[in-house]
Amino acid sequence: MAWLVLIVSGVFEAVWASALGRSEGLHRVGPTILFVVALIASMGGLAYAMRTLPTGTSYAVWVAIGAALTVAYAMVTGSEPASAVRILLILGIVGCVVGLKMVS
């Protein structure tokens, strides 16, 4: 159960990071509300998962999911350029986190 919560909280990390970028310094109400709600859900899920999973592994998985999805969203929406090298580097991050899971 902790792994599922950790994965979902990683998705919420990508949501809050993307909402923060769209909030224009917390001046746009809609993205700011989404940022706050997703941040609370993300941190709460991470805290729950860390009760049973190792801290380092939990944090690495949470950050990797959030970073990979945030960059993927930015590339899909055109906010950031997409390239084969960028995609391979993001896959490398995900691969390293999967490796952490396999050795823990």
Identify the pLDDT of residue 14: 97
The string of pLDDT tens digits covering residues 23-42 is: 999 999 999 999 999 999 99
**Phi, psi (deg, nearest 5) at residue 55:** -60, -50
The string of pLDDT tens digits covering residues 51-84 is: 999 998 899 999 999 999 999 999 999 999 999 9
For the chain, what is the domain count? 1
Identify the pLDDT of residue 104: 65
Identify the pLDDT of residue 75: 95
Q: Stretch 87-101: mean pLDDT, rounded?
A: 88
Q: Is the pLDDT of residue 98 over 90?
A: no
Domain that holds residue 49: 2-103
Tokens encoding 66: 């959030």
Neighbours of 18 (CB within 10 A): 21
Identify the pLDDT of residue 58: 92
Tell me the pTM: 0.89
Helix-strand-coil split of the chain, %, nearest 5:
80, 0, 20
**Residue pointed to by tokens 């706050």:** 36
